[in-house]
Structure 1
């Protein structure tokens, strides 16, 4: 038997104000995206913003449906839009935020497993990691470069390609 250990690495900032101006701007875009959340059931709004290599910003927000699980997370809304419309303009960075009136979020909300796998797929497709910024209002900010910090056991099988 061999014991193995996986360590992840990310940067933590006390607030969005500590980020450089480009990242602050992307976080503001994620907040704007959250406005279009359709979340009447969970009342948990999520917004995502992607910055492409060209500088173009793509927005996504969670979209719920009474016929659960027919909805879609904000990250996948933005990523699938990118994949369908801008696949040749690599994603440089992504900011994700959430808010609910039901309780206070004291730390960033991480992407679900399905979203993490989609991020991994698109990193592989563009052969380039995506800087990911997770934040919440008045709380810490987590920044990582590459999805492996969030999903160390990525599902990839090269023989499926």
Structure 2
């Protein structure tokens, strides 16, 4: 028997097509790109979380010469959020990047790595409500998913233990 895993997402051509709260969140993620420490890969990632209290928490990737000891932007933001605002739910996360090695502004939309997908799933499970995911290319192309769990089909979670 063959089965399919699928989900819906929205594709936007530019930030002006987004609702105001997501526009603000994406601006914060772009600011977080500038906080990245990526001297080895030259691939700077910024993430920003919108919390239920209206706060925005930023994160950026932090590399380390002792690779793979670095930490991704998404997990920096998730850790900061749970440390500073442990009772607040995460409404949405915006993620964007800048590749220093690219000759021109990239149109490619990248998504979180496997560890970050698992971390987002854990946050979703812990708060028992979905986290919206906004993925943005440097050129302005955008994808919006209504639930971070869509990024990790057939996931392993606490309910499997």
Distance 2:157 2:72 in 1: 22
Distance 2:75 2:7 in 1: 23
Unaligned 5+ residue runs, structure 1? none
Task: Give the alignment's TM-score, normalised by structure 2.
Answer: 0.94
**Cα gap change, 1:11 to 1:159, in 2 (>3 Å):** closer
What RMSD, in angstroms, separates the aligned Cα atoms of the two structures? 1.2
Match of 1:14 in 2: 13
Q: Deviations over 1:81-125 (max 9, x none)?
A: 112221211001110000112114212110000000000000000
Bigger Cα displacement from structure 2, 68-77 vs 79-88: 79-88
Match of 1:28 in 2: 27
Q: Does 1:89 align with 2:99?
A: no
Name segments (4+ residues, structure 1) moved above 4 Å: none
Match of 1:54 in 2: 53
Distance 2:156 2:23 in 1: 32
Conserved 8 A contact 2:124-2:149: no
Task: Give the alignment's TM-score, normalised by structure 1.
Answer: 0.94
Distance 1:36 1:87 in 2: 23
SS of 2:109's partner is coil
Q: Deviations over 1:41-82 (max 9, x none)?
A: 001000000010000110100000000011000000000111
Conserved 8 A contact 1:8-1:150: no
Conserved 8 A contact 2:110-2:136: yes
Conserved 8 A contact 1:107-1:139: no
Distance 2:126 2:116 in 1: 15
SS of 1:17's partner is helix
Distance 2:156 2:100 in 1: 35
Match of 1:139 in 2: 140
Shift of 1:159: 5.5
SS of 1:59's partner is strand
The alignment of Structure 1 onto Structure 2 pairs a total of residues equal to: 159
